[in-house]
A and B are shown apart, each in its own frame.
Chain A
Amino acid sequence: MHELGVIIEVVKKVESFAKKNRIVEIDTLVLQIGELSSMVPKYVEACYPAAVDGTLLQDTKLKIEILPCNAICKNCNKVFNLIEAQKKCPDCESEEWDLLGGNEFLIKEIIAC
């Protein structure tokens, strides 16, 4: 349910972008989703057809790119993937780190004419 509401927003944004830039046909929509985002790619894909129904994006393909959730260790500056490392620095085992990314939910680009 969460995903559907948000995807409808995305479609509105892309439609208004298209109108402003006189784009008439969109082949592909590319989204970027961070690993830590509450938007689950599987559900985004599942609600996409309902969200684009009857819009300019009706026949537009959806492509999702996953962005890693990387963190930097405050103790030794190592950059590591937070999920893989289970929230601990793999080098010094410190649990003090700053998040570098992974919460994103972005409209990256469209392939269009």
Chain B
Amino acid sequence: MDKFKVIEIKESVFEDNERQANLLREKLEKENVFLLNLMSSPGSGKTTTVLRTIEALKDEMRIGVLEADIDSDVDAHAVVQTGVEVIQLHTGGMCHLDADMTKQGLLELGTKEIDFAILENVGNLVCPAEFDTGASKNAMILSVPEGDDKPLKYPLMFSMVNVLLINKIDTIDYFDFDLDAVKKRAKKLNPNIKIIPISAKTGEGINEWVDWIRTQVKK
């Protein structure tokens, strides 16, 4: 045993990714591309929201979409129908995307070709919160059927996003979902969070959402 010695490493496991994420963010800033990282649990309505967003904005800016899916291309197919460029990122069983994968996807889209890129992250409220993708801004969707206790259960996600979309607001009468309680819980974790109730199905609230995107995109 005495031939062994202790060698200090003291390295944060997430540090490498953070460095790459910061580089990517700087590059996007310089090239005037707004990259939005959209996160949520499975089925909260990411793809439906992406489709609505494209529909509202595609005549005024050049949009590209990155679809992260563990092992399918169902969502990418749906988005392709809108006519915008879509890149499918296969995460190969991983539960999150990192900055490097995101960058590869963006290079495929061509950063000169787009003003606004949307990244539909893997459906999961834990892991994506821990890996900075290098996105300009982060948004998450919480849908009404998931319940109003989610900020208590997944505090990291709620504390790192710039915007919280509360989706499926059309169903609020059928669930006992306390909208004010969610707003309060989210603000407590993240005082600057912007909260927008929407229905990706009926279109309610989508105007306020795309107005916020307009303020972020430089053309």
Contacts and interface: CB of A to CB of B under 8 A. Distances in A.
Interface of A: 1-2, 5-6, 9-10, 13-14, 17, 21, 23, 25, 27, 38, 104-113
A111 B8 CA distance: 9
Interface in B70-109: 93-96
Nearest to B127: A2
Chain A, interface SS category: mixed
B5 A6 contact: no
7 contacts: A5-B94, A5-B96, A6-B13, A105-B12, A108-B8, A109-B7, A113-B4
B112 to A, nearest CB: 32
A25 B119 CA distance: 41
Contact of A2 (B12, B13, B126): B126
Contacts of B11: 13, 17, 106-107
Nearest 7 interchain pairs by C-beta: A2-B127, A107-B9, A109-B8, A5-B94, A27-B4, A105-B13, A107-B11
B5 A113 contact: yes
A27 B8 CA distance: 14
A21 B11 CA distance: 15
Chain B, interface SS category: mixed
The range of chain B's interface size is 20 to 34
Contacts of A9: 13
Contacts of A23: 7
A14 B12 contact: no
A5 B9 contact: no
Given A2-B127, A5-B96, A38-B130, A109 B13 contact: no
Contacts of B96: 2, 5
B3 A113 contact: yes
A46 to B, nearest CB: 15
Contacts of A108: 8-10
Contact of A112 (B7, B13, B126): B7
